[in-house]
Amino acid sequence: MHNVVIIGSGCAGNTAAVYTARAGLKPLVIKGREAGGQLSITSEVENFPGFPEGILGPELVENMKKQAERFGAEFMHGAVLEADLSKRPFRIRVEDEWIETLTLIIASGASARWVGLPNEQKLIGKGVSSCATCDGFFYRGKKIMVVGGGDSAMEEANFLTRFGSEVALVHRRDTFRASKIMLDRAKANPKIKFLTDTVVEDIFDVEKGEVTGVKLRNVVTNHVWDQDVDGFFVAIGHIPNTAVFRGQILTDEDGYILSQGGARTNVTGVFHAGDVQDRTYRQAITASGAGCMAAIEVERFLEAEGH
């Protein structure tokens, strides 16, 4: 029987592990299929306070893990495939093993949707990104491309004009899901060039280890061409990793956990942390902050119960 099981080993889960471990609760962290979370697929992180020269994403999240282990946190391989939150202790299945716990912190993140091109995955963190706030700064004076047709694509494109010499916005249709106000703002921005009815067929250059360009196709005319690009931003949404809790934890229509205040979910004793509940900020520091909040709530909750 565990005091607290933390689902996810990104910034949110690892920070919750540091706090609950230092509180003597011996947390168990389930790492998931993406150990270290989203930071483990990026390169330089320049906006996490405390690292004036920046730090590599995998190193940052590994440091958090080591820090938690130093205070007694345990880390377990595998993903949660099933959960029974109908009564306490809660029961969760990690691969083939059922585990019981008094409290649970869900820090399973929200995975970015990618276009789905083979080279795209190989170039994540090397010119391919899903986060303008995180990586826009690296493309000062460079050619930037944004893929998407919703509000977040418009927002990212507008934001990226602060850095890029030009921003090409690629969308596979000529109509947009984005709200009129966001679309109008993007259209009024002289640095944004719209490429509608257009899809990305390939990204170069895996051998060089950086993005140098893309192959594009107009879906109406079938015209194919190559275009130079330095930064390739995918803004087609995120998928919160909450499928295993469906019907038990309240979420919005997209699957983001609906907070009941602080780090509380609708199930007493189950708490949320990080991007799995956050469709607005989605940063390493906010995820870590949320992990801290969830841990403090767990400590107080268990203490009130006399554990």
The nearest distance, CB 15 to ligand FAD, in angstroms, is 8
Pick from 1, 33, 52, 247 the residue near ligand FAD by CB under 6 A.
33
- Could you give the dihedral angle defined by the CA atoms of residues 59, 117, 114 and 147, in that order, rounded to the nearest 10 degrees? 110
Cβ atoms 275, 258 nearer than 8 A: no
Question: Which range binds ligand FAD by CB under 6 A, 3-11, 19-27, 157-165, 263-271?
Answer: 3-11
How far is 37 from 272, CA to CA, in rounded Å?
16
Rule CB under 6 A: is residue 47 a binding residue for ligand FAD?
A: yes
- Catalytic residue status for 11: no
Rule CB under 6 A: is residue 240 a binding residue for ligand FAD?
A: no
- Exactly one of 11, 84, 96, 134 is catalytic; name it: 134
Tokens coding 56: 């590599």
Minimum CB distance to ligand FAD smaller for 73 or for 284:
284
Tokens coding 27: 């947390």
Pick from 58, 89, 125, 237 the residue near ligand FAD by CB under 6 A.
125
- Catalytic residue status for 134: yes
Helical residues (DSSP H) of 161-268, grouped into ranges: 180-188
How far is 18 from 32, CA to CA, in rounded Å?
18
Q: Is the bond into 202 cis (omega within 30 degrees of 0)?
A: no
Minimum CB distance to ligand FAD smaller for 183 or for 291:
291
Cα dihedral across residues 139, 134, 124, 130: positive or negative: negative
Long-range contacts of 207-213 (CB under 8 A, 24+ apart): 209/123, 209/126, 210/123, 210/126, 210/127, 211/123, 211/126, 211/127, 211/128, 212/127
Pick from 4, 5, 6, 12 the residue near ligand FAD by CB under 6 A.
12
Pick from 17, 23, 25, 45 the residue near ligand FAD by CB under 6 A.
45
How far is 220 from 223, CA to CA, in rounded Å?
8
x/- map, 168-197, ligand FAD, by CB under 6 A:
------------------------------
User: Cα dist. 149→11, 172, 279 in Å?
Assistant: 29, 8, 17
Rule CB under 6 A: is residue 7 a binding residue for ligand FAD?
A: yes
How far is 222 from 199, CA to CA, in rounded Å?
10
Question: Which range binds ligand FAD by CB under 6 A, 102-110, 143-151, 183-191, 230-238?
Answer: 102-110
Q: Which of residues 270-289 bind ligand FAD (CB under 6 A)?
A: 274-275, 282-285, 287
How far is 188 from 197, CA to CA, in rounded Å?
20
The residue behind tokens 């893929």 is 147
Pick from 5, 85, 124, 200 the residue near ligand FAD by CB under 6 A.
124
x/- map, 133-172, ligand FAD, by CB under 6 A:
-xx-------------------------------------
Minimum CB distance to ligand FAD smaller for 93 or for 217:
93
147 pairs with which residues across the strands?
Answer: 170, 234
Residue type, 197: D
The nearest distance, CB 94 to ligand FAD, in angstroms, is 7
How far is 256 from 238, CA to CA, in rounded Å?
10
Q: Which residues bind ligand FAD (CB under 6 A)?
A: 7-13, 30-35, 37-39, 41-42, 45, 47-48, 79-80, 107-109, 112, 124-125, 129-131, 134-135, 241, 244, 274-275, 282-285, 287
Catalytic positions, written as ranges: 131, 134-135
